[in-house]
Structure 1
Amino acid sequence: MPSAGGVGTGGAESAKPVRLRDALRQARIEAADRTGVVVDLRDAEVARLEILNEALDPLFAQIPDQVDLFDRGISQGDTPRLWIDLVAHVLMGRDKRMYRFVQDTRHGRAVLAESHDVTVVVNAVTDYVARRMIERERAMATSLPEQGRSQEKGTEGGQKKPRRDRLWAFAFGFIAGVVGLFGLALVAALRSP
């Protein structure tokens, strides 16, 4: 009997490592399958974003070269994104088939469009690009006249007026100081016996 127990114990010890080894191998296979699924999902997201990127090519071909507001490209991080500019991008929704066009603002992220259809997102990006270009034109239009006015002041003697104002302020301050000192001297003279 003792020999049977010894054989049984020895058999149980040799069975545990084999079983653990099999379990480790099975766990590695499952982890690889999960990783493969995650990689496949990420690749599917990137592929969908590339389809949208190609659909946007005609739009970005129409933007003049001197307009440097937009920097389009796909980033392949944990969440792949198609960047339109520094604050707006397209990413895939939770179901990995819906496009979400979002803009980062001071108050958080705003969803500008959300659809399964590429055409809807292309139209939303087109509207966004048009609005950004109008904002740029307005900014350029308001900044140019101000620069022109300051140049005109310098050439037509406009710089002399502020200098003249400062000269009058200095003269007034000097006269007020002299009058104040004279008044203090007079008060001091009247108080002394």
Structure 2
Amino acid sequence: MNEHSPSVQDKTSELKDAVRRARLEDAERSEVIAELRTAALARLELVAAAVAPVLAELPEGIDLFDHGLVAGERPRFYVDVLAFVEVDRDRRTFRFLVDTRHGRRLLAASEDVDVIRRAVTDYVARRLVEREKALAADASPAAAPSHEAAGRHGGDLLFAFVMGALVGATLFYLALWWRILE
């Protein structure tokens, strides 16, 4: 065997060393990611604390705002099912986003918790006004007659169909009877 060629045992220990280094790098990366998530959660707790008094003022019985911190791959503070606050990639800026039919929309972005609190407060107020309008439209007196008229119109349509069928059947039998008499 040549003195300069590495032995099988040297190759095996070289691979073992490389695997050990890769595991250490992976562990360090995992620790860094965990630390970043922890930091993001801590920053989002500041937003949650700032918004808590606003959400505490919500009238009882309104379940639009199921809010809370969610720790995940991207930690978020959810205001409701559609809107949430997250920490941007720079780890300093808060982003308040809402999911719409046309995609995700940025409502506010700032490093200042008070700016985000005001944006969340405005969003909650708009949602409450939308809810009031929807409930008022459902309970309005003008809505009841339109349902009655629709019911009456449906009855008129059924009556016309039955009468048309009777007249048509009568004419058919008269024409058939007339044909037989000829």
Q: TM-score, normalised by structure 1?
A: 0.76
TM-aligned CA deviation for residue 107 of structure 1: 1.2
Gaps of 5+ in 2: none
Work out whether 1:102 is the aligned partner of 2:97.
Answer: yes
Moved more, 126-135 or 92-101: 92-101
Instruction: Report the 3-state secondary structure (helix = DSSP H, G, I; strand = E; otherwise coil) of the residue aligned with 2:80.
Output: coil
Alpha-carbon separation, structure 2, partners of 1:104 and 1:36: 31
Change (3 A) 1:33 1:182: closer
Q: Which residue of 2 aligns with 1:180?
A: 171
Which has the higher mean CA deviation after the structures are superposed, 132-141 or 10-19?
10-19
Measured against aligned partners, the alpha-carbon deviations of 1:129-177 in whole angstroms (never above 9, x if no partner) come to 0000000001111111369837xx6xxxx9x966974685367436633
Between structure 1 and structure 2, the one with the greater Rg is 1
- Structure 1: segments with no counterpart, 5+ residues: none
Structure-2 change in CA distance of 1:174 and 1:41 (3 Å): closer
Please tell me the residue identity of whatever aligns with 1:113. A
CA distance in 1, matches of 2:21, 2:80: 45
Which of 49, 58, 63 is 1:54 aligned to? 49
Q: Which residue of 2 aligns with 1:142?
A: 137
Correspondent of 2:75 among 66, 70, 80 = 80
Note if 1:93 corresponds to 2:88: yes
Deviations 1:50-86 (A, max 9, x none): 1100111110111012111001011111111111111
CA spacing shift, 1:15–1:174, aligned 2, 3 Å: closer
Shift of the 185–98 alpha-carbon distance from structure 1 to 2, 3 Å rule, reads same
CA contact under 8 A between 2:137 and 2:143: conserved in structure 1?
A: no
Query: Alpha carbons of 1:164 and 1:12: their partners in 2 closer, same or farther (altered >3 Å)?
Result: closer
1:50–1:147 distance in 2 versus 1, CA, 3 Å: farther
Q: 1:112 deviation in Å?
A: 0.8
- CA–CA separation in structure 1 for the residues paired with 2:173 and 2:110: 82
Q: Please report the TM-score for the alignment, with normalisation by the length of structure 2.
A: 0.80
Aligned-pair Cα RMSD in Å: 3.5
Aligned residues: 181
Give the superposition deviation at 1:110: 0.7
